[in-house]
Structure 1
């Protein structure tokens, strides 16, 4: 005898589907402060990549300066600026992100796109306890990102920039 599903079974199935649907919400539904922090970290990496590409395109060494607003042309013109490599740190030039860095004042790129200067960049959002970090390792300028696990008022150290959990 085929009598179908009971009302209770249908309700349970709908509840389970509803729970599964909420677990798969798009990232745009996440906390805006977290999105700003992640976007700022991506923009830091994009700026480095643009500096590398600009050096390759110009076939000459060039440089960028990391300011609170993002990657800008260097204030000292000992090494020419990487043309077209400036990037803003936030969507709006006056975003809430707080930047700390151990990078030198001018980050230099060789004519073949290698980064000559390394260090740590720490990004914070005033509403979040999590701090994002970017480490630029030498000699090849390889970058890694993660979460910073130390009081930012103490001396910054790349050893405290740990990769984010995959979970």
Structure 2
């Protein structure tokens, strides 16, 4: 006696081939949706460098106010450093490296004077634009240091960081 079960009641579930095709398609979609880890790492390095620039500037202001003495910091490729020349002492505690550990590939450009000066009441006496970029990342971040309180804005630099710098090209980030 033959059973007609297979013709009348199809089996429930999916075949192994169907499951493998769905898993493969989901894997392809996932790789397209997730940005590459190196791009994310470069963006995090840029964000961290911009934060460190802000922290160094704030520390310089606080040091001048705390010590009740004008002081200065110099911005180099490695971050905030004691000034190499000038009449003002370095702001105590203001030295802040651009990267947390090791040597980074970050590029720093600015139109700041050799030394950024701070008054005894913590006001910034020199302003300008700082642009931080990475050779393998499309976006550059920027920091506009306005007078007398320091930072007036930060964001994404919408120009070529290797050409003449303009604070008008420092626009708020979309995110």
TM range (shorter): 0.7 to 0.9
Q: Superposition pairs for residues 103-118 of structure 1, below 5 Å?
A: 103-118=112-127
**Structure 1 gap ranges (5+):** 1-6, 8-24
Is the counterpart of residue 156 in structure 1 residue 168 in structure 2? no
Task: Map residues 75-154 of structure 1 onto 2, 5 A cutoff.
Answer: 75-154=84-163
Equivalenced residue count is 147
CA offset digits 1:105-134 (Å, max 9, x no partner): 000000010100000000001110000000
Question: Aligned-residue CA RMSD in angstroms?
Answer: 2.5
Moved over 6 A (4+): none
Aligned-residue offset at 1:36: 0.4
Unaligned 5+ segments in structure 2 are 1-12, 14-33
**Could you tell me which of 21, 25, 44 is aligned with 1:35?**
44
Q: Deviations for 1:16-61, whole angstroms, at most 9, x for unmatched residues?
A: xxxxxxxxx9xx9971111100000000000000001110111110
CA separation in 1, counterparts of 2:160 and 2:136? Answer: 16
Instruction: Using the TM superposition, give the Cα deviation of residue 140 of structure 1 relative to its aligned residue in structure 2, in angstroms.
Output: 2.8
Considering only CA atoms, is the larger Rg found in Structure 1 or Structure 2?
Answer: 2
Scaled by the length of structure 1, the TM-score of the pair is 0.79
